Amino acid sequence: MTGQADARRAGEVEADGICLAVDLGTGGPKVGFVRLNGELLWDDHRLVETRWLPDGGATQDAAEWWELICDAVRRGLASGAVPARDVVAVACTGQWASTVPVDERGEPVGDCIMWMDSRGGVYSKATIGGPVAGYAPRRAIHWVRKTGGAPSPTGNDPIGHMLYLQHAEPELSARARWFLEPVDYLTLRFTGVAAASHASMIAGWLTDNRRLDRLEYDEALLALSGVDATKLAPLVPTGSVVGTVLPDVARALGIPDAARVVTGVPDLHSAACGAGAIRDFETHLAVSTSSWIGAPVPFKKTDARRSIVSVPGQT
């Protein structure tokens, strides 16, 4: 056992190691333990409630997500199906275009504003709204050229959410250190490190997606958006290791604190991998709370009339 622990500290991954996998869907988190060879050892699905507000709001309790995930992990280990000592990695996927306001420690200071929440529409329209399908073409072109898409004038995306918090709930916004995508929120809870990636920030439309090696937000798009750049988590490469599990989290869950946590990716990417559609032009159809048709492509292309957009993939 000492040799195994030393190997893990040295950065080697056991071939028969286990990954703690979390899929945070709109309906609630799914938690599983999967061997690195693909063998599923244990899984569970917990439901959460979406609160619908009369002014177009849709929220969930991000603290509840974490409690349900922790409970599921402990039950999985208690089942006897999962050797806890073999857990070498943690990976999160799930819904995106939602916004979790958290403090420095990663504790939510307010509910997660869900991807269906349109309360920021009035602020988004002032930023990009116009007469062509709801957009001002001269404004939208700046976004499309760099990102492949543009903020929604309806407000139901991260820019709309952040603008809503800044203008309509300034006290809550002031308490927040970070505005995070759900998968990045979970990564922070596991590691204590605030991080995002080109993949997790797809719907933020604030990264120049022509250069995925450029790990910084685009200053011109930040200026156009009006969002507070200091609340955006630093960018790291998609698929990279953010850190290891915090010792207190590891003790509470019963997993090794040497387990490495990789960047969270949206379900868009995970669905492609799960379907085996990972080579150029291999197409998959995903049907869940929302649905889409996707395929990896070797170029960036936007077709607004047909609602087609290319977004950053995994590097």
List CB contacts of 40: < 8 A, sequence separation 6 or more.
32, 33, 34
Give the per-residue pLDDT at 279. Answer: 87
User: How far apart, in whole angstroms, are the C-alpha atoms of residue 157 and residue 114?
Assistant: 8
DSSP 8-state class, residue 204: G
Mean pLDDT per block of 10 residues along the chain (315 residues) reads 42 75 95 94 96 96 98 97 96 94 96 97 93 88 89 94 97 98 97 95 92 92 95 95 98 97 86 81 81 82 74 68
Domain ranges in the chain are 2-309
Which architecture does CATH list for 2-309?
2-Layer Sandwich (3.30)
Task: Please give the Cα distance from 198 to 313 (Å, whole number).
Answer: 8
C-alpha to C-alpha distance for 315 and 312, rounded to whole angstroms: 9
User: Using N-to-C axis directions, what is the helix angle for 121-128 and 137-147, rounded to 10°?
Assistant: 90
- Per-residue pLDDT, 210: 85
DSSP 8-state class, residue 196: B
Provide the pLDDT for residue 14. Answer: 62
Output the pLDDT for position 300.
Answer: 76
Q: What is the pTM of this model?
A: 0.89
